Amino acid sequence: MTKYYFSLFLITFLGITSPVVSTNKDRSTADSIMNIINKSEGKEKLELLDHYSGIYQTDVYLNKELEKEAQKQNNYLYLANAYRRRIYHSATKGDRDSMKFHIKQTTKYLDLYIQEDRYKNSTKEEQKVYLTSRVMAVATRATLCIDEGKYNIALSEIQNALEDSIIGKTEHFKSQAHSLIAIAYLYTKKPTEALENFREAMNIEAEIASKKGSEEYYSGAYRYYSSMEGATIAYDQMGKYKEALAISDSLINKIENEYQLSRKLRGDNADDDFKYNFFKNRISCYKAKAYIGLKEKAKAREELDKIKPYIQKMNADKFHQDFDIYYFIEVEYYLLIGDNKRAIEYAKSITNRITLDQQPYSYLLSNLALSKALNAGGNNKEAFDLLYKTYNTNDSINAIHFSNEFAEMQTTHELKEAEFLINETNLKLKNTQMVLLIFAISFILLLLVIYIIWRNKKNLKRKNIQLYNQYKEIELRNKQITELQSAYKNITNEENQPEDTDGAIMDKLIQYLSNTKIYLDPKITREEIAQSIGTNRQYLIKAIKEKTGKTFNEFIYSYRLKYAYELIISNQNQTITDILEESGFHSKATFYNAFKEAYGMTPNELRNIIS
């Protein structure tokens, strides 16, 4: 069976409702279609190619012919639509790189189409092609960004699209936009804001569905699904399990009714069957989760047993990302009934196949689930080490993603805006004298440079404020980790435990540094500290490296930097030079570089945002 990547996104957001013909179709079918198409020419040929590549959506051959003909006729609209279909093909294979390339190509040719001012005089069919392609490019990019943890970029993309004079006015895109915004809020643990946006999407879809003729046209699209499932998840995050269960039951009824209507209108259809089973089993997962929240073990098990055969069929040769949720729920169920061994097995089945670079959010959740299962099973030390590692990984991911997002947003939006302004100026001054042209462009570029500098300062301050808030959150989590360390102290200090383990050395070291603040002494050595805590230089260095991944100097610097950070915040009158000297640094350059690397901003920038 063909594996569908981002299946939920493709089916609900893109509204794929026409029958999808399998790629296993005899090649003679495509050849006979091409014989018909080749009898036409010009725009009629493009329209026929687009029509049949829409019916035979998984047949890449027809789509490539559409791409060739669109290039031959220099038709940007249908060339964009050909690349739009390639986004779908790449998504079904899980090929993210190809998806990103085809999104760029789709956007590029749609922009050229708009620049030539063809949209105003286009037919209704051409406008439909434009809207479909534009919405898919925006929504797919936003979905990829959300899945990769780039929430700010996703929200920026959606907001810009909502302000667009063409797609921003379409009801279906508004619904999709609110659902995508809500999903970003779910990932960032803001269920109240997520629920508000999911409800807005549900209201828009309900209004569309109430219009005359919509029932037959949208049958089999399940457009309401993503917003209703999202509302279920939001209620679950809020601990409102009864509300989550009510939404789940309502959604299952809607799915059943729509499936029966689809069968009535189109008869047996493999595409309808796939979507029906996909949605029914996904929402059943969340129904089981609600039962677990309500401690109704038997009902939860009943739902999971109904889902299990479908999961096994879907995962016959490869795990299906859209049903990772099933394995998370199995972990929760077995923890609820006290079968910790099975909970660990299910948790490990997730962690063994989810990678940090492809699914950072799921990677963190899977490690937290495994840590919880290990702890419940009595593997307290292993659970704690995994939890400690996960928290550190989460901090690193947040910092990396934030830096990447900021750079990407700055490059994409500011340079795109600069390019647009320069191109616009060149068009206006096309027929003027060369001297005036050079002068005008130089003046505009000067203004642009001034504007970008102003924007950069503004964005930098906003970025620094976010980093400052992020650091406060990290400090809170570090406090939680410290409390966990205290909870596990009795376990790690059992009678049979070696006295000079890495963990024991680190405990003594942290306590010694906290009590004495010896790290403020710029002349402190490894040997002195090792002797003070009852170990030797080699054991000390090894313990620091094993537990933190840092060298001795890096570890001591982290204490000095934190001390300096607190002084900058608490003592506004003290100079930065005095602070760095008090914190144990010899060199101003060393201090500034280390501070910038640790906190993402300079000491002066930190002082500016809190003053």
Q: What is the 3-state secondary structure (H, E, C) of 132-199?
A: HHHHHHHHHHHHHHHHCCCHHHHHHHHHHHHCCCCHHHCHHHHHHHHHHHHHHHHHCCCHHHHHHHHH
Q: Give yes or no for residue 304 having a pLDDT over 60.
A: yes
The DSSP call for residue 227 is H
Q: Which two tokens stand for residue 527?
A: 């040997």
DSSP for 406-427 reads: HHHHIIIIIHHHHHHHHHHHHH
429 phi, psi to nearest 5 deg: -100, 15
Better pLDDT: 199 or 270: 199
The DSSP call for residue 550 is -
Residue range 471-493: average pLDDT?
Answer: 55
Say which range, 131-140, 283-292, 478-487, has the weakest mean pLDDT: 478-487
Better pLDDT: 353 or 492: 353
Better pLDDT: 303 or 44: 303
499 phi, psi to nearest 5 deg: -70, -30
Q: Give yes or no for residue 76 having a pLDDT over 80.
A: yes
Q: Angle of helix 603-610 relative to helix 434-492, nearest 10 degrees? A: 90
Highest mean pLDDT (candidates 142-146, 152-156, 178-182, 210-214): 178-182
Highest mean pLDDT (candidates 167-171, 457-461, 500-504, 559-563): 559-563
DSSP for 578-597 reads: HHHHHTT-S-HHHHHHHHHH
Q: Give yes or no for residue 372 having a pLDDT over 90.
A: no
pLDDT value at residue 18:
38
pLDDT value at residue 165:
83
Say which range, 87-96, 503-512, 560-569, has the weakest mean pLDDT: 87-96
Please, are residues 185 and 211 in contact by the beta-carbon 8 Å criterion?
Answer: no
Cut 0.75: pTM above it: no
Q: Give yes or no for residue 69 having a pLDDT over 80.
A: yes
- Quick one: pLDDT band at residue 215, thresholds 50, 70, 90? low
Better pLDDT: 17 or 82: 82
496 phi, psi to nearest 5 deg: -85, -5
Please, are residues 579 and 540 in contact by the beta-carbon 8 Å criterion?
Answer: no
Contacts of 536 (CB under 8 A, 6+ apart): 530
Contacts of 490 (CB under 8 A, 6+ apart): none
Better pLDDT: 81 or 240: 240
Q: Which two tokens stand for residue 184?
A: 């970003």
The CA distances from residue 50 to 38, 137, 273, 504, in Å, are 13, 17, 25, 68
Our measurement of the distance from residue 173's CA atom to the centroid of its chain's CA atoms, rounded to an integer in Å, reads 20
Give pLDDT tens digits for 150-169: 777 888 888 888 888 888 87
Calpha distance 245→307 (Å, rounded)? 16
Give pLDDT tens digits for 404-455: 444 444 444 444 444 444 454 454 445 455 555 566 676 677 777 777 776 7
The DSSP call for residue 535 is S
Highest mean pLDDT (candidates 49-53, 123-127, 431-435): 123-127
Cβ neighbours around 175 below 10 Å, total = 25
Calpha distance 268→184 (Å, rounded)? 36
CA end-to-end span of the chain, whole Å? 61
pLDDT value at residue 12:
53
Q: What is the mean pLDDT of the chain?
A: 77
Calpha distance 390→396 (Å, rounded)? 10
pLDDT value at residue 333:
92
